[in-house]
Structure 1
Amino acid sequence: MPTLYLSHGAPPLADDPVWPGELAAWSASLPRPTAILVISAHWEEAPLAIGATRSVPLVYDFRGFPERYYRVRYEAPGAPGLADSVRRLLRTPGTPVQDIPDRGLDHGGYVPLVEMFPRADVPVLQISMPTLDPRRLLEVGRRLSPLRDEGVLIVGSGFFTHNLAALRHRGVPGWSAEFDDWGRRSLASGDVDALLDFERKAPAGRLAHPRTEHFAPLFVAMGASGGDPSSGRSVIDGFWRGLAKRSIQFG
């Protein structure tokens, strides 16, 4: 299986005239996964945590939206076998793994999956990001890589630029466009060092990501694919409310 880094959008993504169709077309082009493993910008927990392995209520981790966004359901099957595999691959004497069995999918998981796999018939498991250190996340991805041979689709869910100040602008802020272009070129050239040090080396890096949790899932997806960013291709690009929605398929 390939691995994915996708920009997941907020709940109103469902009302966008273009983006849901782009996500649906992307999933239709993929082999059918045996299960989906999600690493979302919206769950940081150390040590690394494994979420629910059965269908439990979603986590509506947002405020101030119309009531209909809180009625969305995504009752995908749990993936206890995948959870066992994750424990086997990641748990070592110095690296514990914990279970939080009542932790459902947050919007970084279910918002894109509703568009990509609307039947909710593929088992889904979410794990936490135990750190925001890109090098450590790259290693987490590398250790998860064997799951690809079992048909597991590994999805890092973030946002290619994520500074909500963009929502106050008309059009695309310069910092968002600059970072997006830099990221596209760095991926195409395979510049791992630049990507790992994006806060210092990217133009407007700290403006594009005042906090880095939405870029961080990229490194899990990249590591799971073998760690070569040039193996990725942008499947979705452009901007949504000023934020770069670039989404990448590795492998």
Structure 2
Amino acid sequence: MTATQERMPALYLSHGAPPLADDALWPDQLRAWSAELPRPKAILMVSAHWEEAPLAIGATRTLPLVYDFWGFPEHYYQVTYAAPGAPQLADSVRTLLRGAGTPVQDIEDRGLDHGAYVPLVEMYPDADIPVLQISLPTLDPRRLMDVGRKLAPLRDEGVLIVGSGFFTHNLAALRHLDSGVPSWSAEFDAWGHEALDTGDVDGLLDFRHKSPAGELAHPRTEHFAPLFVTLGAAEASGDLGGQRSVIDGFWMGLAKRSVQFG
């Protein structure tokens, strides 16, 4: 891929679940966000819903979506998103990672999961931008930041790097609530907002010990983990100070905070 004059931002977004499409507010927020962004040449997605080691590169051609959820109404399984594949981007990812000593594998039959396509359906509904998904090779925040640093040069080639998770994520705890926002979700969101605004990367890296209710907000790390790929890509380009929360608030009790660097 060749360099462009405009560096693409790096994003972390809370991707929601399939019913996001029926929300009265959130799809419009995602559409407004994408309208403000430079148009990407390609999109590189890192989703909470694909953990694979060593780091895996998904399909480089258009394949059926991965409906990795259960018990939803049938129409959610009829959603399509036939974005073009991104073989050239895949080549660049292999070159950057292998050149820096990071092993990479190819899983050519792995389509986009809901952590990738659910927000993209709202942000880029024409499905006319090539999309490549890669796996989370680890849940270690420091190692994921290193992956992001290695991928940072893609931003100067017109690639939108997107870490897709959920700013708080504990579905089991939500089952005990009738409605509203649980205190652990609100407290973690407020802490995370401040940590991002002040550039407290060390606090974010050690969020289980430094944050209030970290264990409740993220009993597993997979939905917070994509943030660290984004942070690494931002740090390598000197963009940590240019962070802003584009979307905030809560959806079904979970913090949907989504942030942009650069």
Shorter-chain TM range is over 0.9
Query: Does residue 233 of structure 2 align to residue 232 of structure 1?
Result: no
How does the TM-score come out when normalised to structure 2?
Answer: 0.94
- What CA distance in whole angstroms lies between the structure 2 residues aligned with 1:166 and 1:194? 26
Superposition deviation, residue 91 in structure 1:
1.1
Q: Which amino acid aligns with 2:222?
A: E
Q: Report if the CA contact (8 A) 2:42-2:158 is conserved.
A: yes
Please name the residue that 2:223 is paired with: 214
Please name the residue that 1:166 is paired with: 174
Superposition deviation, residue 168 in structure 1:
4.1
Query: Does residue 250 of structure 2 align to residue 243 of structure 1?
Result: no
Please give the residue correspondences for 1:15-164 in structure 2 after superposition, counting only pairs within 5 Å: 15-92=22-99, 94-164=101-171
Percent identity, aligned pairs only, is 76
Please name the residue that 1:204 is paired with: 213
- What CA distance in whole angstroms lies between the structure 1 residues aligned with 2:175 and 2:214? 18
- What CA distance in whole angstroms lies between the structure 2 residues aligned with 1:208 and 1:230? 25
Moved more, 235-244 or 224-233: 224-233
Please name the residue that 1:193 is paired with: 202
- What CA distance in whole angstroms lies between the structure 1 residues aligned with 2:186 and 2:167? 10
Give secondary structure in 1 for the equivalent of 2:162: strand
How does the TM-score come out when normalised to structure 1?
Answer: 0.98
Q: Which amino acid aligns with 2:11?
A: L
Superposition deviation, residue 231 in structure 1:
2.5
Report the aligned-residue RMSD: 1.1
Question: What do residues 10-62 of structure 1 show as CA deviations (whole Å, max 9, x unaligned)?
Answer: 00000000000000000000000000000000000000000000000100000
Q: Which runs of 5+ in 1 are unaligned?
A: none
Give secondary structure in 1 for the equivalent of 2:222: helix
Give secondary structure in 1 for the equivalent of 2:54: coil
Q: Report if the CA contact (8 A) 1:188-1:229 is conserved.
A: no
- What CA distance in whole angstroms lies between the structure 1 residues aligned with 2:44 and 2:108? 15
Superposition deviation, residue 226 in structure 1:
1.7
Q: Which runs of 5+ in 2 are unaligned?
A: 1-7
Equivalenced residue count is 251
